[in-house]
A = this chain, B = another copy of it.
Amino acid sequence: MTGSRFVCEIDGSHSHGVFRVPGCRASLRSGAIDAGAEPVLDRVAPALLRVDACGGYAQPALARAVPTIRDMVAETGTATVALRDSHHFSALWPDLEPFTDAGLVALTVVSGGPTVTVRGASRNVFGTNPIAFGFPLAGARPVILDLATSTMSNGDLRIASNEGRKVPVGTSLGRDGRDTDDPAEILAHGGALPFGGHKGMALSLMVEVLASALTGGAFSHEMDFAAHPDNQTPKTGQFLLVVDPARGGNAGFAERAAGVDRLPSDRRYRHRDAAAERGIPVTDGIRALFA
């Protein structure tokens, strides 16, 4: 969900759509999130923007920063954005569309609440720490890939648990560090593992450094929900890089990128087109969350 557009649900990402509304509502009611926060922009150097979300959601802070970011890209060729003290409870691709729609290349990473464990750890140490990357494509809508650096998003793990479904062995560990396919057992003992073994763990660390250490936001493992038990969204940070691919003699970028024949956004665009025609289907399971 992003603002009032429900773009994640429309794009077929049910784990980040209507399913999240009760969590957003509970988080706002908990007092952990400042819904009226006024984000503060500070362009500390020509190509480096610091944004303090002041404890609000990341999306309105980024929306306020978009004109400045576009100015920065026009002036310096790139913009690096360090957003801190922000809550993020959504997928990342909507954050990149204002840039990919304008023909720019964009990369963003967000650190999350402590929902991801690593082998041998006694507690969760990372967030699902997603990475999103988007780029324009000649003759087609922009491509945006968006992936948690965990085997599974926390939302999907919770949906599987709610619906009594199994998850693939390797998703994470259960009792005594043993393999299990039971999402409830995984959630009772920690969370998902990083995807792809030690390499995914290294990328999750990269996300923590970019989105928390560099921005001055909190690390995943520093998040403490004790003061606001109903809050579901961590106050961490986000890193964003925007680059103008047309600067300096590579005006054919979008045509060249079209040489890549794998399009991770195809499924989302199919859902978006279908939702424009038929609206958003809401299952009984989702309806029950609002009861």
Contacts and interface: CB of A to CB of B under 8 A. Distances in A.
Interface of A: 42, 44-48, 50, 75-78, 80, 82, 105, 107, 131, 133, 135, 145, 147, 149, 195-197, 199-203, 205-206, 208-210, 212-216, 219, 222, 241, 243-245, 247-250, 252-253, 256-257, 259-260, 262, 264
A44 B214 contact: no
Given A44-B249, A47-B77, 6 more contacts: A46-B47, A48-B76, A48-B247, A205-B260, A205-B264, A214-B253
A118 to B, nearest CB: 8
Contact of A45 (B76, B131, B214, B241): B76
Contacts of A257: 209, 213
Copies in the complex: 2
A75 B46 CA distance: 8
A195 B201 contact: no
Given A45-B247, A244-B48, A262 B199 contact: no
Contacts of A205: 145, 260, 262, 264
A256 to B, nearest CB: 5
- Max chain B CB contacts within 10 Å: which of A75, A82, A213? A213
Given A196-B199, A209-B135, A214 B80 contact: no
Contacts of A44: 77, 247-249
Given A46-B76, A213-B245, A213-B256, A199 B202 contact: no
A225 to B, nearest CB: 19
Nearest to A243: B80
A105 B145 contact: no
Contacts of A214: 105, 135, 243, 245, 250, 253
A260 B219 contact: yes
A257 B208 CA distance: 9
A250 B82 contact: yes
A145 B260 contact: no
A247 B215 CA distance: 10
Contacts of A135: 209, 213-214
A32 to B, nearest CB: 22
Given A199-B195, A257-B209, A262-B205, A248 B48 contact: yes
Query: In the complex, which of the residues A107, A133, A199 has the most CB atoms of chain B within 10 Å of its own CB atom?
Result: A199
A259 B219 contact: yes
7 residue pairs, one from A and one from B, having the closest CB atoms? A196-B196, A45-B77, A44-B248, A48-B77, A47-B47, A47-B76, A145-B202
A136 to B, nearest CB: 10
